[in-house]
Chains A and B, each alone.
Chain A
């Protein structure tokens, strides 16, 4: 009896000790992952090609130049997007001031009516330009919004990974549970699985191609698949450039109507 009690106590102690330790680790991993994924360099520039393929195989493509400037690592960011294709929407530009805590501010410039419009939306889960990526998927969901636990350590595509489960601290419309497969070497997510409140698998992100660019490991091709709609979005980054020396001034209304010539030909 004595033995059993002490055994139980030890077990309890290990469990009690174990949970915070792994939680700490998991949160640390997710923080590093977030920074590696969304905050490479102080700023970044790329031409993005986005293809959405629906269940019937119908494709829609968009091409845009995207500029990003970080206020601080893990902090607020500014995005500027200039559309090149499809041709009937070319010259539309779009700007986001991402606030880590609070609603993002968005502006859009519509050339055919020569109008800049500010949009404030509280829904970061809504689709980014009709793709399967949400705004949050594009600019990143702060690791601080979820509780993370390491579920296992395993291997994916020949790479050692942590399998980490994230559960939103506050009820979230986008997902109820996320499982990320984080590359132990690069901290980049190789795969993310999203589940809804009924614990149904709803969408899957995959890193298809990772390249080292100017010393930064960058996911140059990723996909997001909507399981139920059986629709997939491919995002390919080209002409990537980091630390080009962007200034805050670029991310103002003035440049929405007149794209910065040094970055956008």
Chain B
């Protein structure tokens, strides 16, 4: 099982009729059990790339090969829950095959047990993001795509959710693709960090992290991080955000 991405170019036509290059040459491959992290400045075309990889946007030059018939779990940047369905129904609709013990376990891990019957409008953003995570994991995806799942959450919650994602990903052989502009998240979660240039996006560096996630202590993380930051600074790129 392997995900291969080769996007030669992707252009948008604006309402005024002008052509905008969003992606100009992005290629990488991920194996099952691997977490690839796309890091790049915001607005560099990461979300567009994810939509192409998930098969939502067929209008591009290049090739994406997903495992045949792969189930996809997608955590969008916004939670994208159905506001008129309860938390549990939202998860069950995406994952009709998930059984009760499995859902209970997921709700337990993501601390959603008390919110099963709430409507999304009654949840905080942090909770809604967790429901979106629960939904993506409940389908037992072969390809898991996470688009800045931790953005705009406070540090404590973000770090807890990050640990939960790591735990869920380690439990199954899934190809995971995570987008972030936070290098810290990238280093803590990724097996491979793919650095992207500003728009139009291209790959600046493809850096594997050989040490397993669980074995990385704060010292190692800091070391890898400074290595990545050095790479970023050596490129003509400005990192925004944290």
**A and B held together in a complex:** no
| B residues neighboring A (CB under 8 Å) | none
| A residues neighboring B (CB under 8 Å) | none
